[in-house]
Amino acid sequence: MQCLRLKHILQACKSSARIHKQRAKSGQASDMGMKSYWDAFYRSRRPRDLGDSNCFEWFFPYSETKDVFQSAFANVAENLPGNDFNLIRIAELGCGTSELSMELIQDHQSSCCITCVDFSTAALEHNQKNVKSNARFHGSVAGHLAYVAADVCHLPFSENSFDLVFEKGTMDALLKSENTRPKSDQFLLEAIRVLRPGGMFLQFSDEAPELRLDLLERMKSHVWQREPKHISVSFKNISHNDALEYFVYTVQYGKM
Ligand SMILES: C[S@@+](CC[C@H](N)C(=O)[O-])C[C@H]1O[C@@H](n2cnc3c(N)ncnc32)[C@H](O)[C@@H]1O
């Protein structure tokens, strides 16, 4: 019996070492979790020609996430707690210079307000300029967007602040940085802490389910210890071609 248990422990250690190796291998840089890395990255980008908003879009643009957001909106709107304007409160964690949030507001006819968080001041400055100068976005979009400079592992929001929280590539960046485990664990716990019960958290990622689901399961058990709330985790392959695989991970928080 003892021997069997030891064998299981050894197997678990081996598989966690393998996962760690796989993540390290796929990582492009160990400083992808650092503000200085991202500030330099966004500052190094120059408009190619007049009118080019020069945004950098990780993985894919809004158009490829449309269906996912369509059903997420329907889901969270179902039991939207009345707020002053009946708007869906959304947070994007690690927005970079992506235009996804702007397009989301446009597409949903301003039925939501989005708080975009990033610790890169270079990215946030770029976005503020983009919203002001890009004819597509000022007017209805600008009034529904807020930018907050903050660390996604220590969010400056209270519990219950959002109906929907999402991220694209942010946890992937944290997983390629040093102290991977504590940072990604903290990030997941923060994303759930700021959600209201009945809310939803979406992760767009290129990380395969055999790696990501373990982390989401760990988060589930941490949250359960803090507060016994039902959490369900699911995922979907949203790849548009065979060469690259992308997934959306959905965490439904506190809904039976
Ligand atoms: C891979 S990029 C994705 C950017 C954007 N979501 C997109 O789809 O193009 C990761 C982003 O996360 C931000 N980031 C990484 N670690 C962070 C942290 N601890 N706090 C806040 N932002 C962070 C980076 O500045 C960067 O903009």
Pocket test for ligand 1, best of 26, 101, 118 (most atoms within 8 A of CB): 118
Binding site membership of 65 for ligand 1 (Cβ less than 6 Å): no
- Enter the tokens of residue 128: 């503020």
Residue 28 has pLDDT above 60, yes or no: no
Taking alpha carbons only, the member of 114, 123, 122, 185 closest to residue 154 is 185
Binding site membership of 169 for ligand 1 (Cβ less than 6 Å): yes
pLDDT at position 16, please? 43
Q: Phi/psi class of residue 109: alpha, beta or left (left: φ > 0; alpha: ψ in -120 to 50)? A: left
Interval between CA 105 and ligand 1 midpoint (Å):
20
Which has the higher per-residue pLDDT, 178 or 106?
Answer: 106
Q: Give 19's contacts (C-beta < 8 A, 6+ positions apart).
A: 211, 214
Listed range (9-13, 45-49, 241-245) with the worst mean pLDDT: 9-13
Q: Which residue has 């983009």 as its token pair?
A: 130
**Within 10 Å of residue 60's Cβ, how many Cβ atoms?**
17
Interval between CA 59 and ligand 1 midpoint (Å):
12
What mean pLDDT do residues 98-107 have?
A: 94
Per-residue buried b or exposed e for 170-209, using 16+ beta carbons within 10 Å of the residue's own CB: bbbbbbbbeebeebbbbbbebbbbbbbebbbbbbbbebeb
Specify whether the CB–CB gap between 212 and 203 falls below 8 A. yes
Task: Give all strands (DSSP E) within the chain, no chain letters.
Answer: 88-93, 112-118, 145-149, 162-168, 195-205, 231-237, 247-253
Decide: helix, strand or coil at residue 88.
strand
Q: Can you list the domains of the chain with their CATH numbers?
A: 31-253 (3.40.50.150)
Residue 102 has pLDDT above 90, yes or no: yes
Q: How far apart are CA 14 and CA 17, in angstroms?
A: 5
Taking alpha carbons only, the member of 46, 64, 65, 68 closest to residue 55 is 46
Interval between CA 95 and ligand 1 midpoint (Å):
6
List the residue whose alpha carbon is closest to atom 15 of ligand 1. Answer: 33
**Mean pLDDT (the chain, rounded):** 84
pLDDT tens digits along 147-196: 999 999 999 999 999 999 999 999 999 998 877 778 999 999 999 999 99
List the residue whose alpha carbon is closest to atom 16 of ligand 1. Answer: 33
Binding site membership of 92 for ligand 1 (Cβ less than 6 Å): no
pLDDT tens digits along 41-61: 999 876 554 455 678 899 999
What mean pLDDT do residues 10-30 have?
A: 47
Listed range (25-39, 46-60, 91-105, 158-172) with the worst mean pLDDT: 46-60
What mean pLDDT do residues 125-154 have?
A: 89
pLDDT at position 84, please? 56
Interval between CA 186 and ligand 1 midpoint (Å):
15
Interval between CA 125 and ligand 1 midpoint (Å):
14
Interval between CA 33 and ligand 1 midpoint (Å):
8
What mean pLDDT do residues 210-239 have?
A: 91
What mean pLDDT do residues 191-209 have?
A: 95
